[in-house]
Structure 1
Amino acid sequence: MSGQLPEFYFRVRENGALVFRVDTENRQRRIEMDQIAAINIKNGEIKPQGNRDLSEDEIKAIQDWMAERSELLAQRDIDDIHRAVDYLNLTTQWAQSKASAEQLDDVTDDLLLAMHDLRSVLVRKKADRLMKANS
């Protein structure tokens, strides 16, 4: 463990995090974590816990973490999409070279519907972007 612990710990959860102040300056030299806030990344909400009023430094640290977290999640989203393209290519290769008739029967309808849905959305979004660009 490194010698210096951060001032705040963010316990990630589905839509944000719980924020704890980390304290090692106590008699027992134990790590204590005091929950100071709950945050929601999607709507930017910061809820102080208990009867606490957050200081400007605490709010700034939380907002900085939220910005970094939002950027990380956006990077992960696009990474997932690039992986999906790879999976589509691997699926195509599998269907062409390895899949049995039974395996193809098992997945063909689901794949065709999913690909049709994706194609419809992509075509509509591209048309919208082209229309905006030409306006």
Structure 2
Amino acid sequence: MIRSTLCALVALIALPAAAQHAHQGSDGPLETGQSAFAAISEIVQILSDDPGTDWTKVNIQALRDHLVDMDLVTTQATVNTQTEGRIVEFRVTGERIVADAVARMATAHSPMLELATGWTVTA
């Protein structure tokens, strides 16, 4: 059941991804529909193009959940910034669902930001 559901999901997502790629080089839009859907479509297309993809290790739901968190933080969180010298503090708050998303995003992305910039990042 899970395998057939995944195949159906991949088929449904891959079709818009094909349409998305068909627009490249034209004056039409590159992103099809809602941004999270387009991101999932693009990732599924990349994975589909890779013959080494182990679909048993692909977790589209986890990607979707992460994209939902990104959307909540980007569109519904309130950010207050405080600067003292070279230290910048961002206090990101919101309703319960937003606060939970902020916690997950800060935990997931702080180490990447630290690696990419060389900054000291605390979440």
TM-score normalized by the length of structure 2? 0.25
TM-score normalized by the length of structure 1? 0.23
Q: Which has the higher contact order (CA 8 A, sep 6+)?
A: 2
